[in-house]
Structure 1
Amino acid sequence: MVSTAATPSPSKVSLGVRLGYAVGSFCTANFSTIPGLLLLFYMTNVLAVPAAFAGVVLFLPKAWDLVANTLVGRWSDRTVSRWGPRRPWLLAGALVLPVSFALMFAGPPLTGTTAGLYVGVTFLAAATGYALYEVPYKAMPAEMTTDYHERTSLLQWRMVLIAIAIAMSGILAPTIAGETSDGYRTMGVVFGVILLVSMLGSFFGTARAPFTGQQRSEGTLREQLAAARTSKPFMWLLGLSSAQTLGAGVMLAGAPYFAAYALDDTSATTTLFAALVGPMLVTMPLWVWLARKLDKRGAMLLSGSLFTAGALLILATPALGSLYAHLCVMIVGIGYAGLQLLQFSMLADVIAHDGVVSGERRGGVFTGLWTAVENAVSALGATTYGWVLTAGGFISSDPEHPVTQPDTALVAVVIGVTAVPALITFAGVLMTLRYNLTAERLAAAVGAGGTPDPAAAGRHDGQPADTEAVGTED
């Protein structure tokens, strides 16, 4: 293995390393998407778990992420090895997540609350394995290059593979799963293998990645979390990303229900996902260009607005039909492509800026807090949709005992994938206005040798930054 000791600050990352890093997206995208898409439906329509309880089961394991992710981030910041600080944790995650994922969909012949408890326990184990991998994985781009726009270009490859992985999750996974326990069991094994291969691929593929990070942090975990919380760019970015993630999570959880009850075609889940991820495959170069032209914040405002508009337009589906719904989902997909690319590029900027200002390596703490919140919010999407269904009087069932849903439940199915995620995402658009870590501000911090400017920086001494400087750098 090649050591990832600190090297001169490069502005470019080789194609091999870009692809080696990007292949890990088959893990992050599939694990983020499949539980959000299928686990609620699996519990309510295959295992006959009550909708409200199923929503709670999906959310509770994510509460553990608030602890696990911050600890993993701290550990990876302080790790010293010939593989660098992050890569050993990629390997640790690969030993836990794939098996836990397969077990999540391979339960014994249980139904109702007991089945929901089994899913909750295995989901908790899978979430732990995912934390071991995801936190250091997301910290790596900030340490591969010092160039503001190169980070966007680096992550472009990751977003392309994310689009392919989401297509796999939204098309292949539902096709394999069908609506039977055997189908879900087979799907769990197949995607468990895919997770393993992608996780090992990123471990070996980043062996020659440049490392531009700072020395490891010597502060306590509490001090590092305090630094993250007082970073105004980070907190606004975390807020707007959480809104986007929650909106997407609600829509994701509702997709199978929308296909089954609004379009009267369960196979439409596949075509709806094709309409969503298709734009991601072809618009990434456009979003990279827009990020340079409008800066990242301007491009983020545009992408969030497109997502919101597309979601609201879907409301007219009962009157205008399936083709109209798919066209609207394509608009959502164009916006979603920008959201996915830009939020992670902006996160790398925030981590890089903190490294310049503090002179310490604590990107793991930032990504640990980020991923803990992100995963909890993502799970809350399914929980929220479950609450919407419950409010509408949705009746859970299993394949052997189908039921006729009341009209109020059918209305809830549509509202849950349109108005609810649109309003949540629009809140993220408003928060984007408060974020202003631009290329110029980041360059100024680097030029100042890492000395924080009170007019453009929060404080690292644990004290709140000036309230009049909301949106400025850490």
Structure 2
Amino acid sequence: MTHAADSEDAGGKSISLSVRLTYGFGAVAYGIKDNGFAYFLLLFYGTVVGLEPALAGTALLIALIFDALSDPLVGYWSDNTRSRWGRRHPFMYAAAIPVALCYSLLWQPPDWGDGLLFLYLVVLAVLIRTLITFYETPSSALMPELTADYDERTTIQAWRSFFGWAGGAGMAVFMYAFLLVPSETYPVGALNRDGYETYGVISGGVILVAILVSALGTHHRIGLLTTPPPRARAGLKAVFKEVIETLADRSFFALFVSSIASAVATGLTAALTFIMLTYFWAFSSLEVFYWTLLVVISAVMGLLIAPRASKRWGKKGAALRLGVLAFTVQPLPVLFRLMGWMPENGDPLLFPILATVNTIDLGLIIAMQAIFFSMLADLVEHSEVKTGRRSEGVLFSALTFIRKTTQGIGAFVAGLILQAVAFPQGAAPADVPTESVLQLGTLLVPSQWFLWGVMLVALVYYRLDRAQHQSNLTAIQSRDGRSV
């Protein structure tokens, strides 16, 4: 049963600002982890530490394979948990300290050879992925339980996306302002190994705080959330049968395929971003710092745009419009450089042009991301009408798995590209052959456009709209006699 009808916060049109903020703040943990894996990890292990880039990318892919089963299993386990702390919070509390500790150790590798260093990276990447699943999947699954309102879900997810992006960017800004600074030992700030080690300690602490704030800040809502039916004994075969039954939906499949393409494209772009900034555009450490700082402005843009666009065009219409605009523009600066249409490196106009384009473009992407997860939330009731089960954990775990491919497959492809262009390890920007830099851009642009195109085409096949969502809510209320 559910007590959602007892409080507007649990199922009405709006929830309190304090719940929005504390729930959203929990995304800082995943934002820091995601930012570190996507933007810094390949650079750190492949360039600073000296591990072969292809080996670093392979290590992340192996971790992804080992981690693949944990997502749906944790989602299913969370959906069917019965405890005095509810379905989600036991997992959130349990993950806090271990994931913070492992993330800190990731950035303090011992001085080993490639073989042992490769194993070190694999083991910690597997642990971090698994532990973050124990937090992120149940935490994400809270959102559909907090409210069933079509528009309010987008607002809540917009706050979560804001904190995730702002938290990750904020830590990166801190790195470039205070940790990755040039010195006599490290003339290029991005190659400062000591800075990465300090980052590991600090970011691990922030991850711990973010998880605990979110868990404690939503703890008082436990009594108002959905309680699962009594559990029947079920073998592994029955568990997977239920998971497959839940996910066997056309609209979910559209989101699933869209997520795969989006995750690979995002992972590829993210893994090469700071390499492109440092070597392709030859930005200084100060310019990279400003570039990263502007992500916070993009996050604010996403927070403001997502709810308004969703109300005006509906979730699918808004996601497609924002996506077409954002992903058409994103690769253009690199393409224009290859065609000789951009100012030369060092030109005072280059940074303002690129920073403005990127800030606006990223704001659109963040807004689209928030709408995307709100679309997923609406599938909870759609699935419940068909199966009789509320499977927030299973549905969101599928997307959590796809998000992890951002660091897995995307980083793996990035490592292969760096290997293909013979990109040197640990070289100063002036020492990298011009041919390698241009080849890097030549391979990146078509890869991005192809993957983003697949993502948008898949999204067209999502069928759930405002009217269908309301019909699902009405059907559940008529069948079960409860408000959602």
Normalising by structure 1, we get a TM-score of 0.88
Candidates 238, 259, 262, aligned match of 1:241: 259
Tell me the SS of whatever aligns to 2:76: helix
Give the structure 1 partner of residue 425 of structure 2: 396
User: Contact between 1:303 and 1:334, CA under 8 Å: does it hold in 2?
Assistant: no
Q: Which moved more, 1:274-283 or 1:248-257?
A: 274-283
Corresponding residue to 1:254 among 272, 279, 285: 272
- Residue deviations 1:110-133 (CA, integer Å, cap 9, x gap): 353432321221121111210110
Higher alpha-carbon deviation: 13-22 or 351-360? 351-360
Structure 1 residue 167, shift from structure 2 partner: 1.7
d(CA) in 2 for partners of 1:364, 1:420:
32
Q: Does 1:39 align with 2:53?
A: no
- CA change 1:282–1:60 in 2 (3 A) is same
Aligned counterpart, 2:249: 231
Contact residue 46 and residue 180 of structure 1 kept, 8 A: yes
Distance in 2 between residues matched to 1:237 and 1:6, nearest whole Å: 30
Is 1:439 the equivalent of 2:466?
A: yes
1:211 aligns with 2:225: yes
Correspondence for 2:313: 294
In structure 2, the CA distance between the partners of 1:420 and 1:217, relative to structure 1 (3 Å rule), is farther
Residue range with higher mean Cα deviation, 105-114 or 67-76: 105-114
Report the secondary structure of 1:85's partner residue. coil
> Equivalent residues in 2 for 1:25-424 (5 A)?
25-175=27-177, 176-177=179-180, 178=189, 179-209=191-221, 210-212=224-226, 215=229, 220-267=238-285, 268-315=287-334, 316-317=336-337, 319-320=342-343, 321-397=350-426, 404-415=431-442, 417-424=444-451
Cα 1:345–1:22 change in 2 (3 A) is same
Flag the 1:386–1:422 CA change in 2: closer, same or farther, 3 A. same
CA gap of 1:416–1:98, structure 2 versus 1, over 3 A, is farther
Shift of 1:323: 2.8
Structure 2 gaps, min length 5: 6-10, 181-188, 344-349, 480-484
Partner letter of residue 93 of structure 1? A
- Residues 16-72 of structure 1, C-alpha deviations (whole Å, 9 max, x = no match): 211121110110111111111100000111111111111111221122221111211
Residues 326 and 417 of structure 1: CA distance in aligned 2, closer, same or farther (over 3 Å) = farther
The answer to whether the Cα contact below 8 Å between 1:100 and 1:125 also exists between their aligned partners in 2 is yes
CA shift for structure 1 position 416: 5.2
Task: Tell me if the contact between 1:300 and 1:342 (Cα under 8 Å) persists in the aligned partners.
Answer: yes
- In 2, the alpha carbon distance for the partners of 1:240 and 1:384 equals 18
Give distance in 2, aligned partners of 1:133 and 1:431.
29
Shifted more, 82-91 versus 329-338: the winner is 329-338
> Which residue type is aligned with residue 225 of structure 2?
F
CA distance in 2, matches of 1:11, 1:439: 14
Distance apart, 1:417 and its partner CA: 4.9
What is the aligned-residue identity percentage? 24
**How far apart are 1:266 and its partner, in Å?**
4.8
Two-structure CA RMSD over aligned residues (Å): 2.4
Q: For residues 271 and 105 of structure 1, what CA distance do their matches in structure 2 show?
A: 24
Q: Secondary structure at the match of 2:330?
A: helix
Could you report, residue by residue, the CA deviation over 1:287-340 in whole angstroms, capped at 9, with x for unpaired residues? 211101100001111221122122221222463333322222123212212222
Specify the SS of the correspondent of 1:448: helix
What is residue 3 of structure 2 aligned with on the other side? 6
Letter in 2 for 1:33: N
Q: For 1:82-103, what per-residue CA distance to the aligned partner results, in whole angstroms no more than 9, with x for missing partners?
A: 1110011001110210000000
Q: Which moved more, 1:208-217 or 1:218-227?
A: 208-217
- Give the 3 Å change call, closer, same or farther, for CA 264–356 of structure 1 in structure 2: same
TM value normalised by structure 2: 0.86
Shift in Å at residue 353 of structure 1? 2.2
Separation (CA, whole Å) in 1 of partners of 2:124 and 2:256: 28
Conservation of the 8 A alpha-carbon contact between 1:244 and 1:424:
yes
Residue pair 1:47, 1:112 contacting (<8 A) in 2 also: no
Q: Residue 283 and residue 69 in structure 1: after superposition, are their counterparts in 2 closer, same or farther (change >3 A)?
A: closer
- Alignment partner of 2:111: what SS? coil
Q: Which amino acid aligns with 1:391?
A: A
How many residues of Structure 1 are paired with residues of Structure 2 in the alignment?
A: 447
Change in CA separation of 1:283 and 1:129 when aligned onto 2, cut-off 3 Å:
closer
Q: Secondary structure at the match of 2:212?
A: helix
